[in-house]
């Protein structure tokens, strides 16, 4: 089998490798065996992923002589709750896990966050391995040790930093994902180019459509470069005291949109991030820190691959500016009552800004919503004209 490509997240005694390749899942048992404290693991996955990938992982564990059991949770962001966390931990205790037992998170960001948080708090800390099955999880949520669950007040407000022992990213899995999920993950890939690597963003402009279509060489390169960028940032700032917060580009806006839509299928995380990144660029332009051409370039690229860039691209609903701002006020980056924004001085030039006034945000939202209303009106006028022409 092909040897996976390897990156290291350098965190002293908590360091670990990210292994990336097309046969990683089939080799999972062999790859993780040297790191296990015992020959027993518990796989945590959801019902959909169990059907698609569980048997392959179980065979890989059998091949390596690793005993395994599994716990299946409901699919979707609704599993990132205190109730589901309690049920998961109770099930782990029923299985008589020991501190030498390792948890395997087989799934996307929801499973990684939920299983990772359960690993952090069960028996005061269990080892766990991330086996991300979505593009979003492979390039973002599986790396860096952030774990957590959602509450009615906001996204990921309860959680812990708990680093995995290993990340196994099998890019062949990604070719089976629905296009909408690939696009949602792609938004996080784009983020890395916007934060600190304009050259990577340029590469994405040329190759992004191919990787979304499942071209394996482009997929592997995008996952590798995204993980490399995140590993460097996490190694320098593990607990988000400084530059790691740059990874939240677009997320303050995006999380507000997610909260308003109920963390469901109406708006996927990556879709919210895509709109949020455009809004972060627009706010930067509004403040005179970024050239309008850079915001237009981002908007064109996201639209070209099929990601939303504004309210006009989202499902019709009433958006209330004050409710959106209230959601933003519950963001984890709020300090001293002020929201910390990730803004840009151009593509590849992200920075943290704590001096944004809420009136600036209100003006931004109001303009964006007015633009969406105008777009809808023009579309309706065009449709009416077309119908009248056809009927004449």
Mind listing the pLDDT tens digit for each residue in 232-273? 999 999 999 889 999 999 999 999 999 999 888 999 999 999
Return the sign of the alpha-carbon dihedral for residues 234, 123, 27, 186.
negative
The answer on pLDDT for 90 being more than 60 is yes
- Claim to verify: residue 285 and residue 354 sit in the same structural domain: yes
End-to-end CA, the chain: 66
Task: Quote the number of domains for the chain.
Answer: 2
Confidence band for 330, pLDDT divided at 50, 70 and 90: confident
Phi-psi label, residue 145: left if phi above 0, alpha if psi -120 to 50, beta otherwise:
left
CA angle, 282 then 331 then 307, to 5°:
45
- Claim to verify: residue 55 and residue 128 sit in the same structural domain: yes
Range of the domain at 215: 209-380
- Claim to verify: residue 9 and residue 158 sit in the same structural domain: yes
- Tokens for 302, please give them: 């996201």
Q: Find the range with the poorest average confidence among 160-174, 206-220, 333-347.
A: 333-347
Confidence band for 383, pLDDT divided at 50, 70 and 90: low
- Cα–Cα distance for residue pair 22/4, rounded to 1 Å: 8
Confidence band for 337, pLDDT divided at 50, 70 and 90: confident
This prediction's pTM: 0.92
Q: Is 200 within the bounds of a domain? A: no
10 Å CB burial of residue 151 (0-12, 13-18, 19+) is middle
Return the sign of the alpha-carbon dihedral for residues 86, 91, 92, 94.
positive
- Tokens for 30, please give them: 């062999």
Within 10 angstroms of residue 3's Cβ, the number of other Cβ atoms is 9
User: What pLDDT was estimated at residue 183?
Assistant: 98
For the chain, give the number of residues: 392
Give the CA distances from residue 324 to residues 62, 180, 181, 261, in Å, rounded to whole numbers and listed in that order: 49, 24, 24, 10
Strand 166-170 versus strand 16-21 pairing type: parallel
Q: Is 242 within the bounds of a domain? A: yes
Q: Which of 160, 177, 194 is the last residue in one of the domains?
A: 177
- Claim to verify: residue 19 and residue 128 sit in the same structural domain: yes
Within 10 angstroms of residue 345's Cβ, the number of other Cβ atoms is 13
- Claim to verify: residue 216 and residue 173 sit in the same structural domain: no
Q: Is 388 within the bounds of a domain? A: no
- Tokens for 11, please give them: 């965190």
User: What pLDDT was estimated at residue 387?
Assistant: 59
Q: Is 109 within the bounds of a domain? A: yes
Mind listing the pLDDT tens digit for each residue in 143-177? 999 999 998 888 888 999 999 999 999 999 999 89
- Claim to verify: residue 40 and residue 86 sit in the same structural domain: yes
- Cα–Cα distance for residue pair 165/159, rounded to 1 Å: 18
Q: Provide the CATH number for the domain around residue 284.
A: 1.20.1090.10
- Give Cβ neighbours of residue 244 (< 8 Å, ≥ 6 apart): 144, 233, 234, 236, 237, 238
Q: Provide the CATH number for the domain around residue 94.
A: 3.40.50.1970
- Claim to verify: residue 327 and residue 220 sit in the same structural domain: yes
- Claim to verify: residue 227 and residue 131 sit in the same structural domain: no
The answer on pLDDT for 391 being more than 90 is no
- Claim to verify: residue 149 and residue 40 sit in the same structural domain: yes
- Give Cβ neighbours of residue 6 (< 8 Å, ≥ 6 apart): 17, 18, 19, 20
Q: Is 343 within the bounds of a domain? A: yes
Q: Is 63 within the bounds of a domain? A: yes
- Claim to verify: residue 279 and residue 370 sit in the same structural domain: yes
The answer on pLDDT for 99 being more than 60 is yes
- Cα–Cα distance for residue pair 363/286, rounded to 1 Å: 10
- Claim to verify: residue 136 and residue 237 sit in the same structural domain: no
10 Å CB burial of residue 205 (0-12, 13-18, 19+) is middle
- Asked if residues 331 and 276 have their Cβ atoms less than 8 Å apart, the reply is no
Q: Residue 1: which of 76, 56, 80, 53 has the closest Cα?
A: 56
Which residues are known catalytic residues?
Answer: 124, 146, 188, 230, 240, 244, 248, 251, 255, 269
Q: Is 234 within the bounds of a domain? A: yes
- Claim to verify: residue 273 and residue 376 sit in the same structural domain: yes
Q: Is 310 within the bounds of a domain? A: yes
pLDDT cut 70: percent of the chain above it: 96
The answer on pLDDT for 384 being more than 60 is no
Give the CA distances from residue 217 to residues 22, 214, 221, 266, in Å, rounded to whole numbers and listed in that order: 10, 9, 6, 31
């Amino acid at each position: 089998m092909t040897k996976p490509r390897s990156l290291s997240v350098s965190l002293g005694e908590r360091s670990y490798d990210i292994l990336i390749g097309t046969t990683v899942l089939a080799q999972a048992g062999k790859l993780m065996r040297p790191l296990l404290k015992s020959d027993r693991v518990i796989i945590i996955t959801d019902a959909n992923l169990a059907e698609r990938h569980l048997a392959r992982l179980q065979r890989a564990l059998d091949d390596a002589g690793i005993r395994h059991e599994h716990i299946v949770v409901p699919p979707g962001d609704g599993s990132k709750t205190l109730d589901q966390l309690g049920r998961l931990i109770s099930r782990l205790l029923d299985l008589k896990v020991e501190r030498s037992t390792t948890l395997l998170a087989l799934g996307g960001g929801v499973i990684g966050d939920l299983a990772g948080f359960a690993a952090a708090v069960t028996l005061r800390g269990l080892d766990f391995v991330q086996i991300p099955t979505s593009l979003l999880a492979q390039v973002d949520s599986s790396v860096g040790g952030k774990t957590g669950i959602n509450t009615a007040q906001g996204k990921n407000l309860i959680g812990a930093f708990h680093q995995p022992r290993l990340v196994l990213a099998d890019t062949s899995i990604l070719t089976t994902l629905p296009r909408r999920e690939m696009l949602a993950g792609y938004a996080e890939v784009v983020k890395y180019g916007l934060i600190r690597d304009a050259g990577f963003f340029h590469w994405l402009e040329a190759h992004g459509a191919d990787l979304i279509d499942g071209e394996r060489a482009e997929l592997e390169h995008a996952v590798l470069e995204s993980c490399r960028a995140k590993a460097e940032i996490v190694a320098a700032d593990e607990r988000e005291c400084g530059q790691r917060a740059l990874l939240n580009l677009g997320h303050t806006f995006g999380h507000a949109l997610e909260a308003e839509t109920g963390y469901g299928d109406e708006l996927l995380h990556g879709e919210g991030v895509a709109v949020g990144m455009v809004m972060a660029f627009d706010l930067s332009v509004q403040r005179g820190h970024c050239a309008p051409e850079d915001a237009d370039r981002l908007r064109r690229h996201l639209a070209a691959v099929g990601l939303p860039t504004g309210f006009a691209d989202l499902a019709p609903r009433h958006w209330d500016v004050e409710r959106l701002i209230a959601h933003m006020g519950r963001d984890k980056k709020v300090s001293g009552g002020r929201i910390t924004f990730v803004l840009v001085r151009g593509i590849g030039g992200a920075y943290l800004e704590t001096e944004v006034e809420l009136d600036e945000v209100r003006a931004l939202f109001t303009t964006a919503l007015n633009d969406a209303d105008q777009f809808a009106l023009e579309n309706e006028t065009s449709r009416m004209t077309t119908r009248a022409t056809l009927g004449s």
